[in-house]
């Protein structure tokens, strides 16, 4: 087998908000068709790590390369799935129009979307199993449906790397499993980095786990065990262990 290509390379990265060090000396490599779970307690810098990979914020020091280039240059190869709770649920926008936002970078700058953009959006909605919802108002959907819409929006640009931020927050267990099954299918062609504060399902789907708590505490290649988790979380270990036993 040929050696896998590195998709994301992060080396000795520090990041601070208003003088508070949020990430310290992070070194992490994500390889092609990895399914990496990034876990850690709330406020541990997981989302910050995603924003650095996206180039939305810049580290104080260290090096970040995505597909061998700067994050900003590689953005068109990245599909990003933010937390849907941050979006205005009362906004009058259809599911189709939300998905099409993922084509803004490829569509002509002025005027309407092209037919090819609409076709790509329809394909992405079929892949995320929300084609029947395409004319519904985004804000009227359930949490799980919204998550699938954002997934379709990330897929519509045909990304090679998917970044997900807490995709199963505010979703019940059965829907959560559906979403992970969908991701598993996507993982056959796409590299995935998934951030979660909850280890619940993650360990059965991902092939690697990175624990972040300001520092990158561990980065095992094998399945995660109770001992490893305990080493990662210096804080509320009991609660998290409890969740792992589910």
Partner 1 sequence: MFEFLHVLRNQTFMQNAVIIGLLASVACGVMGTYVVVRRIVFISGGIAHTVLGGMGIAYYCGYNPIHGAVVSALIAALVIGFVSLRYHQHEDTIIGALWAVGMAVGILFMYKTPGYNVDLMSYLFGNILMVEKNSVWLLGCLDALIILLVLLFYKRFLGVCFDEEYSELQGVGVVSTYLLLLCLIALTVVMLIQVVGIVLVIALLTLPAATARYYVHSLGQMMILASILSALFTTSGLVVSYDPNLPAGATIIVIAGLAYLLATVLKGLTMRFHSGRD
- Which residues would be at the binding site for partner 1 (CB under 8 A)? 54, 56, 75-76, 78, 80, 82, 87-88, 90-94, 97-98, 100-105, 107, 109-113, 135-137, 153, 157
**Integer CA distances (angstroms), 167 to 52, 94, 135, 140, in order:** 18, 21, 23, 18
Nearer to partner 1, 190 or 206 (CB): 190
Closest CA to 216 of 27, 82, 49, 37: 27
> Least distance in Å: CB of 104 to partner 1?
4
User: Of 19 and 111, which has the nearer Cβ to partner 1?
Assistant: 111
- Minimal distance in Å, beta carbon 53 to partner 1? 11
Residue with tokens 């979307």: 113
**Cβ closer to partner 1: 48 or 213?**
48
- Rounded to a whole number of angstroms, the minimum distance from the CB of residue 69 to partner 1 is 15
- Is 121:152 a contact under the CB 8 Å cutoff? yes
Quote the least distance from Cβ 215 to partner 1, whole Å.
26
**Residue 143, CA atoms < 13 Å, CB-side half-sphere:** 15
Q: Which residues contact 3 (CB under 8 A, 6 or more apart)?
A: none
How many CA within 13 A on the CB side of residue 73? 8
Nearer to partner 1 (CB atom), residue 19 or residue 105: 105
Give the residue with the Cβ less far from partner 1, 1 or 110: 110
Smallest separation (angstroms) from partner 1 to the CB of 163 = 10
Element (H, E) at 226: helix 226-232
């Amino acid at each position: 087998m040929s050696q896998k290509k590195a998709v994301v390379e992060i080396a000795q990265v520090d990041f601070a908000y208003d003088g508070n060090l949020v990430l310290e000396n992070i070194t992490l490599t994500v390889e092609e068709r990895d399914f990496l779970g990034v876990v850690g307690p709330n406020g541990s810098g997981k989302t910050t790590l995603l924003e650095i990979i996206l180039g939305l914020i810049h580290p104080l020091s260290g090096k970040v390369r995505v597909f061998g280039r700067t994050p900003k240059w590689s953005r068109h190869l990245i599909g990003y799935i933010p937390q849907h709770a941050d979006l205005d649920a009362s906004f009058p926008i259809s599911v189709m129009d939300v998905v099409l936002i993922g084509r803004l970078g490829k569509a002509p700058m002025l005027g309407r979307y092209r037919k090819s953009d609409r076709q790509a959006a329809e394909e992405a909605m079929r892949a995320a199993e929300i084609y029947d919802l395409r004319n519904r108002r985004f804000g009227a959907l359930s949490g799980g449906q919204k998550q699938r819409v954002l997934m379709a929006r990330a897929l519509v640009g045909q990304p090679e790397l998917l970044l997900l931020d807490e995709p199963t927050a505010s979703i019940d267990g059965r829907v959560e499993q559906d979403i992970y099954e969908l991701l598993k299918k996507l993982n056959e062609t796409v590299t995935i980095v998934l951030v979660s504060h909850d280890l619940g399902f993650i360990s059965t789907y991902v092939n690697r786990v990175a624990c972040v708590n300001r520092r990158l505490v561990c980065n095992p290649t094998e399945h995660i065990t109770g001992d490893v988790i305990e080493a990662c979380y210096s804080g509320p270990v009991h609660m998290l262990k409890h969740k792992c036993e589910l």
